[in-house]
A and B are shown apart, each in its own frame.
Chain A
Amino acid sequence: MVGTAVPRRLTWLVAEVVEMVDETARARSIVLRCPGWSGHLAGQHVDVRLTAEDGYQAQRSYSIAAPADGEKVILTVELVDDGEVSPYLIEELSEGDRLEIRGPIGGYFVWEPGRGGPLQLIGGGSGVVPLMAMVRARVEGGSDIAVRYLSSARSVDLILYREELARLARDSEGVEVLYTLTREQPDGWTGLTRRVDSEMLEAHAFGAGEEPLCFVCGPTPFVEAVASALVDLGHKAERVRTERFGPTGG
């Protein structure tokens, strides 16, 4: 988007909740219909604003989980303990409710098939949400760009989008999905079992010689560790895009 950004006023839009999808015990996807929505790129986010009856307002940023589809905007929100906004979005929001959103926001952590690949996606916790939008954009766009998706979760029940990713990996050539569980592994788990480290990246991620576009999203310590490991493995820093969030905000 360099040099082509169209100045526009960022305005709050009223979106209606059309569906709530339970993703895990701690995360839900909120499917919104937002009249006036201008479309977006995979990786972008929105600001969500809640207004209490007394006028108090709280605002948070959430990644969009799926590529542009008319007025539809899908967010996936994970519960932040002691959070101010996420408990409401997860426990109280229901179909027919309205939210104020503005966006799309972000010109840095974005991908669309025309930007090429191969695509190396590495997410920690709910940091996989914008990466899922990229996987969906790759598959829905009919692109044949090779994608490797590495998701780090504390335990198997906290893995987001597992069924859909299993289907995409099975049905779409060139889409590989890998999980690592950092705290607990169920009996019979055959995936990885530790935090993402240099050795894991060397074994399972695209090598620096393949010049992948790398997108890393998650809590700040996760992103710092993964991004520096990638650079140490020879990936060019400008091919490693990062987005850090939490444990703040909520």
Chain B
Amino acid sequence: MSTEAHVDGNVLGGMLMEMFGAEMTDRRGCCGECGAIGTMGSMHVYVEAPGDVMRCPACSAVLLVLTRIEPVVRVHVVQLAWVEMAAD
């Protein structure tokens, strides 16, 4: 198993739904470091770190980190500038 392999934001769909209360994998987010915009499902996610780390596919900036220390999951919002949700 490589420690460098990433998957994508689809794997965090359940956690994102828990955070935002809606399906988020098809919603756009923006990197606060380089300004790249992509769907949350297309972001790179590293799940072998001590937490789950979401990075920008364009510049690798850390967007979000989720750490699970029972009984809580801590959501570190790092370089995620914004994320879109349905207005209704």
- List chain B residues, Cβ under 8 A from A96: none
CA gap between A47 and B22 in the complex, in Å: 15
Residue contact A109 to B22, C-beta cutoff 8 Å: no
Given contacts A10-B14, A247-B1, contact A107 B8 (CB under 8 A): no
- List chain A residues, Cβ under 8 A from B22: 5-8
Residue contact A220 to B26, C-beta cutoff 8 Å: no
The interface residues of chain B, by DSSP majority, are classed as loop
CA gap between A244 and B2 in the complex, in Å: 15
Residue contact B7 to A45, C-beta cutoff 8 Å: no
CA gap between A10 and B10 in the complex, in Å: 15
- List chain A residues, Cβ under 8 A from B88: 3
Considering the complex, which residues of chain B in the window 22-37 have a beta carbon less than 8 Å from any beta carbon of chain A? 22-27
CA gap between A1 and B22 in the complex, in Å: 11
- List chain B residues, Cβ under 8 A from A245: 7-8, 11
Q: Give which listed residue, A9, A102, A107, contacts B23 with CB less than 8 A.
A: A107
Residue contact B21 to A105, C-beta cutoff 8 Å: no
Interface centre among A61, A102, A107 (most CB of B within 10 A): A107
CA gap between A61 and B26 in the complex, in Å: 17
Residue contact A45 to B10, C-beta cutoff 8 Å: yes
- How many Å from the CB of B12 to the closest CB on chain A? 9
A171: Cβ under 8 A from any B Cβ: no
B5: Cβ under 8 A from any A Cβ: yes
Residue contact A5 to B86, C-beta cutoff 8 Å: yes
Considering the complex, which residues of chain A in the window 51-67 have a beta carbon less than 8 Å from any beta carbon of chain B? 57, 61
Interface centre among B24, B25, B47 (most CB of A within 10 A): B25
- How many Å from the CB of B85 to the closest CB on chain A? 9
> Chain B 49-88 against A: per-residue CB contact (8 Å), 1 yes, 0 no?
0000000000000000000001000000000000000101
CA gap between A55 and B48 in the complex, in Å: 21
Residue contact A220 to B6, C-beta cutoff 8 Å: yes
- List chain B residues, Cβ under 8 A from A4: 86
Residue contact B86 to A106, C-beta cutoff 8 Å: no
Given contacts A1-B23, A2-B86, A5-B22, contact A105 B17 (CB under 8 A): yes
Residue contact A105 to B1, C-beta cutoff 8 Å: no
> Chain A 146-172 against B: per-residue CB contact (8 Å), 1 yes, 0 no?
000000000000000000000000000
- List chain B residues, Cβ under 8 A from A9: 21
**B contact set with A: CB distance below 8 Å:** 1-2, 5-8, 10-11, 13-14, 17-18, 21-27, 39, 41-42, 47-48, 70, 86, 88
Beyond A107-B26, A109-B25, 7 additional contacts (C-beta under 8 Å) are: A61-B14, A103-B14, A108-B10, A108-B26, A220-B7, A220-B8, A249-B11
Q: List 11 A-B contacts (CB under 8 A).
A: A5-B22, A10-B18, A47-B14, A105-B10, A105-B17, A106-B23, A244-B6, A246-B5, A246-B7, A247-B5, A248-B1
